[in-house]
Structures are given as structure tokens and as C-alpha cells.
A and B are shown apart, each in its own frame.
Chain A
Amino acid sequence: MISIDSLSFGYSDQKILSIPHMEVKESQHLLILGNSGSGKTTLLHILGGLLKPEEGKVVIGNTDLYNLSAQQRDKYRGQNIGLVFQKAHLISALSVGDNLLLAQYLSGTAQDKGRVYEVLEELNLAHKVNKRVKALSQGEQQRVTIARALLNRPRLILADEPTASLDDNNAHKVIELLKQQAEKYNASLLIATHDQRVKDQFELKLELTAA
């Protein structure tokens, strides 16, 4: 499903990341572990098409991500990759529902309010659809970002420290939710974290160490 070959990335002469080969199959989940500074976020950004690697290939399905033009890559990401970040980055000028509609609009998929409602329903947020983002709690906001990541039925879900700013209860819920939804959409799930609470819930792990 997703594979990388002879990947390397670094700033000036300092190499941060070097992975000869890695492959994650469809509906497989992978936990990327490592201390801060080990390059977890960098790897995730490279996999998400946000950051061009110095060398190497990233292939999702049949698509060589960095062979696409910048604009095609943006579009591909919008339609096939769901991203979840440590902080719940939502557009505060928009309501919850409009945040999701925006995701459909920007990725170039048809705007479908039914679909928005369906995803919010799954995450138990349907009653918040017209609420301002700021009126939501931290945990709720994080769930909205997950809803946004799932909206376009992605083939790949990338989550960067999704539990770092949540309490135990919410952290557990979010991980469960991500796993459950990834299974539902038959998507591969990659989570980068240094959170000990998450460690034991995944079989496949990749440990990154600072070079």
C-alpha cells in the first residue's frame, strides 16, 4: 500500500532521517516511535507529501508522490490522505460543519452535507455541526479533526502525536477511534508518537533513533 525506498532527508550536511526500505500494507497499522528530534514528524510529513525528501521514493498505491507536480500532490493529499495533528487545527472563523465542507471543497471532491453529517454522527458530534469551533472542548476539537481526516474516505491516515495534548481518558478514546475508523475505511494508519499510553495498542512498530 505504502512503500518507501532509500529515503533520506536532512538539513544542510546533517542527516536527520535515513530509511533504506519500508512497507505498510493495506489496512495495516504502524506506530512510529521515537524521542522528540528523532524525525517522526519529518517522516510523517514526507509520507504526507508535505515535505519533499532529498532522495528516495514514496509510493502510495501506484502513485509516486514526489513525481507529481506540487499542485497535483496537494490535490492527491486532499483526496487520499487524512492528516491528524497534535493540536486540533481547525479554522476558527468557520463553524464545525463549514470546516468539514471546506475540506471537501479544497480537496476538489463534491460538497456533500449528508456525508459531513454522517461522519460527525459516527464521532458523536452531529449535534455540534453549527457550533463555533471555539465553543468546543479540546477533546471535541480533536475529534472534529479526525472527522475531517476521514471525510474523503482516505486510503492513508497519518496522525502526528494525536494524543499528546489529551488526558488519559480522551487519549484512549482517540486511539480507539482512529483504529476503528481506519478499519472501517480499510485505510492504513500511521501514528507518530512518544506517548507511552499508546505503545501497547499496536503490533507493528518502527523505532526511530536520533542519528
Chain B
Amino acid sequence: MNLITLSWNYIKAKPLNTLLNVLLMSLGVAIILVLILLSTQLEENLSKNKRGIDLVVGAKGSPLQLILANVYHIDFPTGNVKLDEAKALTRNRLVKSAIPLALGDNYGGFRIVGTNHDYVKLYDGKIASGELWKYNLDVVLGANVAEKLDLKVGDEFFGAHGLSVADLEHDERSYHVVGILEGSGSVLENLILTNIESVWEVHNHEEEHVHEEGGHEEKELGSAYETGFPEGDADDEITSMLIKYRSPMGAVQMPRMVNSNTNMQAASPAFETQRLFSLLGIGVDMLRSFAYIIIVIAGLSIFISLYNALKDRKYDLAIMRSLGASRGKLFVHVVLEGVIITTLGGLLGMILGHGLMEMLANSYEKSDDIGVTGLVFVNQEMYVLLISIGIGVIASLIPALNAYKTDISEVLAGE
């Protein structure tokens, strides 16, 4: 017997009341936890994936869409831009480096991205098996792609036109897997990387395959697989390029220059993600205040049940005093009762929150792309648990104070 088992026995003695209070508490905590898990993971992943990219240049359209499509690979591209025009822009002295991207095809729902090795370096991608691509139609798979589609080095597959699964296959030229990347948590995990020329070849081949029945198996080395832009003619296009500035002056001049002097559009990932968060923020804030209201109501409900129970408990408390308990001990005894309930609620809420998050992540197919899961632990959760305990203390403070002040003689004489 100690104060915790004593308080626990009182809690057990009124199971329905306890259940209600624990459930209320856990509901509030679960909502807050889902919001915390979602926003920290989103923020972390969004900022991880935009690292090293100062500006994205692509076809005109929505700047947010340009960022979502070319940095995070979750939206459709705004269109294509001429290779020559893009190349011309990279000669600007404000541009330190530029990585070209060519989107348009997918395999099994994973995007095939034409680019160069700089793109892998941008995210510190490391090869897990095989090697990086050099020849056209050779591809390197992100860790998640290889796992989900069960592909390994040496396998071949046909890409499909478009960016979602059910589209028509390009069944003339197959891609050849030469390497698989280590899992890193970046966008690379969910991409299939190759030369830009591979993407062109698959598309052009479709138009020309009538003339080339022979089927030359000879491999062609990419013209710019390590860095820079590939050689192409006036008709060739790319989807976008990721630019890094040479100096902060770039941020001032480049976007305006691109947007007004060229047929292309420039968008800043930092600015657009911030805009996205401020849009989402309203919803998140509302949900969060709703969750806090639930928690406050849970606290209030605990306060009321403790306060009401105290009328029946004053004899118990007086008896405990007569058995040798000090005032302080009774105070702690009542506070403990509130704290046990809210801690239980907090813990249950954490389990609920993680479960809910994992369920959401599993039911939403894009969750892999944005890297959201319920199975991680964030530091902020400790604060949520501390808040839960704090609510328990606050809710039981007044009842505990009344217990502290109980006049034993008066209670025992007044029977």
C-alpha cells in the first residue's frame, strides 16, 4: 500500500467516470499528436528536399505547382521549356549551377526523371548496389522503388507515358537497371533516374520506329550524364532546371529577369513552401485549438468529479488523518488521482495518435512520396505528456487543497 495504489483504488472504484475522463483526455492528445507528427514530418521533408535549390525554372503556370512538381515530385509539371532557352539562362553570371530535369514517364507509378549525376549529389544520394547510370536507357532506382516493384540490378522494364500508373506503355524501348540507391528519406527514394536523352529517345523512338526495324542494341553514352546539359537540337525540351545562385544578388535579380524576359517561369522553393504552410496553417491552427479545448474540458471534467467526490470522501480523508496521515500526504493523494487519470489519458492519446497517423499514412498512397509515417517519435511528444500531467495537477489542485484543509475533528464529530 502506498499513495499511488491508494489513489489508483479510488480511480478503480468509479470506472465509468474514469473512462470518460481518460477518453476525453486521450482524444485531445491524439489530435494534437497527429498534428505534431504531420507538421514536423512535412516540414522536415519539405525543407530537406529543397535544400540546395535556390530557384526552379520551368514552363509558365502556377509557381506552387512548379515547385511541387519539380522539387517534391507530387504534382504534375506545368509543361516543358526549350532546351536552348534553358541553356542560355545558365550562362548568366548569377547562376552557379543548374541541374536539368526531364519528366513525363513513369513505371509502376514511380516517376522516371531524366537528369544528371549532380541531382544525386544534391541529396547526397549513395549507391547501394550497382553503379550510377552513364549510357542512355540505363536507370538507377530509388530505394523505395526497388523495394516496392521488386526490381534489382540487371532487370529491364518498359516505361509508361504520363505520371500515373494506368497509362499506355512505351513497349518499344526498355530501360535497364544498373544501380539502386540507398534509402535516404529524400525524394530520390521514389524516383527512377536516367539520362535526359533516354527520355527523349523513348518518345522520339515511338515516332521513328517505323524506319528503324533493325533494332540496334548498341548502347549510346549520354552526352552529359555527370553534369551540365545534354546536346540536343532546336526541338528538344526539358521540364525544368534547379538553379543555385552564385551570390545573394541572384535572389534579387534572377526571378524577375526570368519571368519578364523569357518564356519561362521562375519560382523560389523557400517562398512557395512558406506560402503553402501559411495556407495549411489556418486549418492546422483551428484543429489545434479544438484539441486544446477538448483537453481543457477533460481537465474540467476531472476537476468536477474530484470536487463532487470530495463530499463523500471527507470522512475517508478524516479517517486517514486519524490513522496518522499528514495534511501533505492527503494533498498529494488527491493530486495523484488527477495526475494518474491525465497521464493515462496522455499515454492512451499517444498510442491513439500514432495509430491514427499510421492509418492515415497507409490509406493515403501519396504518403510515401511525402515521407509521412506514424511510427516515429518526435521530441514535442514529451511536452504533450508533460502538459497532460500538468492538467492533472491543475484540475486536482482545488480539491486537494480542500482535502488539505479538512478539519478532522469537525468531520468526525459531525456524523
Binding site for B on A (CB under 8 A): 41-42, 45, 48, 50-51, 70-71, 74-75, 77-79, 83, 85-87, 89-94, 98, 101-108, 111, 148, 160
Contact = CB atoms under 8 A, between A and B. Distances in A.
A104 B322 CA distance: 12
A175 B362 CA distance: 72
Grouping DSSP codes into helix (H, G, I), strand (E, B) and loop, the A interface class, with mixed when no group exceeds half, is helix
A97 B129 CA distance: 67
Interface stretch (B4-12, B28-36, B235-243): B4-12
Contacts of A70: 326-327
Interface in B398-415: 408-409, 412-413, 415
Interface residues of B, number: 26
Given A50-B321, A93-B10, 9 more contacts: A45-B409, A74-B324, A75-B324, A79-B324, A89-B316, A91-B316, A92-B13, A104-B1, A106-B323
Contact of B324 (A91, A106, A160): A106
B261 interface: no
A74 B413 contact: no
A104 B2 CA distance: 10
A74 B325 contact: yes
Contacts of A111: 1
A45 B10 contact: no
Interface in B1-54: 1-2, 6, 9-10, 12-13
Given A78-B323, A92-B13, A102-B323, A71 B328 contact: yes
A105 B316 CA distance: 15
30 contacts: A41-B412, A41-B413, A42-B409, A42-B413, A45-B409, A45-B413, A51-B409, A74-B324, A74-B325, A74-B326, A77-B322, A78-B325, A79-B324, A85-B412, A86-B415, A89-B319, A91-B316, A91-B320, A92-B316, A93-B12, A93-B316, A102-B1, A102-B323, A104-B1, A105-B1, A105-B6, A106-B320, A106-B324, A107-B324, A148-B323
Nearest to B316: A91
Contacts of A85: 412, 415
Given A77-B322, A79-B324, A98 B415 contact: no
A72 B209 CA distance: 100
Nearest to A104: B1
Nearest to B312: A92
Interface in B327-362: 327-329
A76 B218 CA distance: 99
B315 interface: yes
A95 B360 CA distance: 45
Nearest to B320: A106
A90 B322 CA distance: 12
B258 to A, nearest CB: 74
Interface in B272-323: 315-316, 318-323
Nearest to B8: A93
Nearest to A90: B319
A107 B322 CA distance: 9
Contacts of B9: 93-94, 98
B415 A87 contact: yes
A108 B326 CA distance: 11
Nearest to B409: A51
Nearest to B412: A85
Contacts of A51: 409
Nearest to B317: A91
Contacts of B409: 42, 45, 50-51
Contacts of B6: 94, 102, 105
B412 A50 contact: yes
A83 B326 contact: no
Q: Which residue, B12, B324, B325, has most C-beta atoms of chain A within 10 A?
A: B324
A142 to B, nearest CB: 14
A91 B316 CA distance: 6
B185 to A, nearest CB: 51
A204 B316 CA distance: 33
Contact of A105 (B2, B408, B415): B2
A179 B166 CA distance: 94
